[in-house]
Every structure is written in C-alpha cells, then in structure tokens.
Amino acid sequence: MMPKVVYDTNVVVSAALKPGSLPASLVALAIQKQVRLFLSPAILEEYTEVLTRPKFPFDPKMVETFLRDLKRAAAVVVHPTTRVTAAPHEPDNRFLECAKAAHAEYLVTGNKKHFPFLAFEGTRIVSPAEFARIITE
C-alpha cells in the first residue's frame, strides 16, 4: 500500500530550487504515484504564495504549471473541517489539519522545530531524509 503523506512547503520549494535533490526525488515519488500526496486548499494557497515570492527565481507561469501538474498527477485534495492549534507557528497548523483529514501516515518537513512533537494524531512528523529511509526499507 502506498504511504499517505503531506509535504510541508519547504519540501516543495526545495524540490523546485534544486532538481535532483532529496526533496525533488520525494516530489517525484508523488508524481510517479509511489506515495499518495494529500493537499488542502490552504496548502495549495501557501505553496503558491511562497513559490511566487520575489526572492525566488521562479516564473509565475512555471509555478502555476508545476502546482497544476502536481495536483493533477499526484495529489488528493482534502477539505479539513477541524481546526488545529497544536503547532507553535500558526500557518503550520494547516498541514496538521490536512494530515488529520487525510489520515496521513507522514508529514514531511525540513523544519521540524515548527512541529515540536514526533507525531500528531497518528501522523509521524519526519524530515525528508527520515522519510526517504522509511520508504526504502
């Protein structure tokens, strides 16, 4: 069975910035349907907002295409109905809400300090390297 996963924004941004990187390979796993990626409208909005910031060298059309392709090829969009306030950084609660609604097994983040717990309601909080080890075991 495919692992059910939510990717934090930093994983997606790192994948876009560094083709061939570990985060890029994790995004590729979702596109190749080797993991089941879950998104919510709030996460898609955050991905878009961050990827189109002036500090990043991305063409807005490329961002639009990338996210459309990711959503179409790889993702299941869920609509969380429960608000979560467990993360100290408020926007990170959207990822916990998505994971909860999806019954995701993993939330993959490059910024574990924003998730100061090992798991949340059955979802393990792991780094990209930890997730790569888990899925190759």
Whole-number percent of the chain with pLDDT over 70: 100
Is 5 within 8 Å of 35 (Cβ atoms)?
Answer: yes
Ramachandran angles phi, psi of 135, nearest 5°: -80, -10
For the chain, residues with pLDDT lower than 70 are none
pLDDT at 134 (0 to 100): 95
Contact partners, residue 44, CB within 8 Å, separation at least 6 = 67, 71, 77
Instruction: Give the separation between CA 99 and CA 104, rounded to whole angstroms.
Output: 5
CA-based end-to-end distance of the chain = 14
pLDDT at 60 (0 to 100): 87
Domain spans of the chain, in order of start: 4-136
- pLDDT, the chain, mean: 93
Angle at 70 between CA 128 and CA 101, to 5 degrees: 70
pLDDT at 1 (0 to 100): 78
pLDDT at 66 (0 to 100): 85
Q: Which CATH architecture has domain 4-136?
A: 3-Layer(aba) Sandwich (3.40)
